[in-house]
């Protein structure tokens, strides 16, 4: 989980090529992440890298040795993909929950309690997505505790059909972030000036995206990437029946 201030990315020149941004698997493997010295605890082993700093979303990768933090009124919505180790979380009312490697979780704005990261082989590892825009301080999430996102929907079970070729379910509607699953039968389409920055994780199938005047990029199950705001180009999906993706966007 992340506790930090956020800087805004500069606007890109209008003639710049807008293309998808793939998150390097080396970072997701715990490699090439710089070690930082924390003023509050200089002896703690801590690693962090801002992977993506966009117009609407930022993505970080973080790793640390065992640490327990007391949280009072968590100031942001946060989507977390837990990669290594586990997190033990307890609220003020004594409710407890544990998350493990491979879990997708949501940390709601306003949460108060204790969060303990336990490293798998000493160091934990997590990927974090947050919005660049802060909700009004009076807006608090309906959820009071960090929670596991619906495993059945993420697994492709019980999807809500939109039409003959596509499915869509909202996993959680927060005050700053929205997390969705979207699925489609193999499709070819054109995207014109994508209206929102999208963090995308391929859950099943494959996807080839080609920006106008750019080279094609192919993503397969397990890949993470950002589809930027303003992107225009082609989208070609493949799947064993369905391409399925998890998507995080700014509310």
Query: Which H or E run includes 152?
Result: helix 151-154
For the chain, give the mean pLDDT: 92
The CATH code that applies to domain 21-149 is 2.60.120.10
Taking the C-alpha atoms of residue 230 and residue 217, their distance in angstroms, rounded to an integer, is 17
The Cα 17–Cα 197 span in angstroms is 15
CB 64 within 8 A of CB 50: no
Distance of CA 84 to the CA centre of its chain: 16
In 156-232 the beta strands, taken as DSSP E runs, fall at: 166-173, 177-184, 188-191, 198-204, 206-211, 217-220, 224-227
- Paired strand residues for 105: 80, 148
Res. 173: pLDDT tops 80? yes
The secondary structure of 153-174 as a DSSP string is HHTT-SPPB-SSSEEEEEEEE-
Per-domain boundaries in the chain: 21-149, 152-250
pLDDT at 9: 38
Is the whole model's pTM more than 0.75, yes or no? yes
- Binned at pLDDT 50, 70 and 90, residue 7 comes out as very low
- pLDDT at site 31: 96
Q: What pLDDT band is residue 5 in, cutting at 50, 70 and 90?
A: very low
pLDDT tens for each residue of 185-241 = 999 999 999 999 999 999 999 999 999 989 999 999 999 999 999 999 999 999 989
What's the mean pLDDT in 37-58?
91
Residue 44 vs residue 102, higher pLDDT = 102
Asked if residue 2 has pLDDT above 80, the reply is no
Q: Which residues contact residue 170 at a Cβ distance below 8 angstroms, ignoring those fewer than 6 apart?
A: 178, 179, 180
Give the separation between CA 251 and CA 248, rounded to whole angstroms: 9
The string of pLDDT tens digits covering residues 49-79 is 999 999 999 999 999 999 898 999 999 999 9
User: Is it true that 21-149 and 152-250 share their CATH fold?
Assistant: yes
Mean pLDDT over 36-50 rounds to 88
What's the pLDDT tens digit per position in 81-104? Answer: 999 999 999 988 888 999 999 999
Average pLDDT over residues 129-134: 95
CATH number of 152-250: 2.60.120.10
Does residue 94 contact residue 17 with C-beta atoms inside 8 Å?
no
């Amino acid at each position: 989980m992340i506790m930090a201030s956020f800087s805004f990315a500069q606007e890109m020149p209008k003639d710049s090529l807008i293309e998808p941004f793939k998150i390097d698997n080396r970072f997701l493997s715990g490699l090439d992440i710089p070690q930082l010295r924390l003023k509050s605890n200089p002896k703690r082993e801590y690693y962090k890298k801002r992977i993506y700093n966009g117009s609407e979303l930022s993505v970080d990768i973080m790793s640390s040795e065992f640490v327990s933090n007391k949280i009072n009124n968590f100031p942001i919505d946060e989507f977390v993909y837990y990669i290594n180790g586990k997190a033990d979380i307890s609220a003020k009312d004594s409710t407890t929950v544990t998350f493990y490697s491979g879990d997708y979780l949501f940390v709601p704005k306003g949460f108060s309690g204790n969060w303990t990261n336990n490293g798998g082989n000493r160091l934990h590892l997590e990927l974090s997505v947050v919005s660049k825009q802060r909700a009004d301080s009076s807006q608090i999430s309906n959820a009071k505790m960090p929670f596991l996102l619906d495993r059945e929907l993420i697994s492709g079970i019980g999807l809500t059909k939109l039409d003959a070729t596509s499915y869509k379910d909202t996993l959680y509607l927060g005050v700053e972030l929205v997390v969705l699953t979207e699925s489609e039968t193999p499709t070819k389409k054109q995207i014109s000036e994508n209206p929102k920055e999208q963090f995308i994780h391929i859950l099943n199938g494959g996807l080839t995206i080609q920006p106008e005047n750019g080279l094609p990029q192919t993503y397969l199950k397990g890949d993470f990437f950002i589809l930027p705001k303003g992107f225009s180009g082609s989208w070609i999906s493949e799947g064993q029946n369905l391409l399925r993706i998890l998507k995080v966007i700014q509310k």
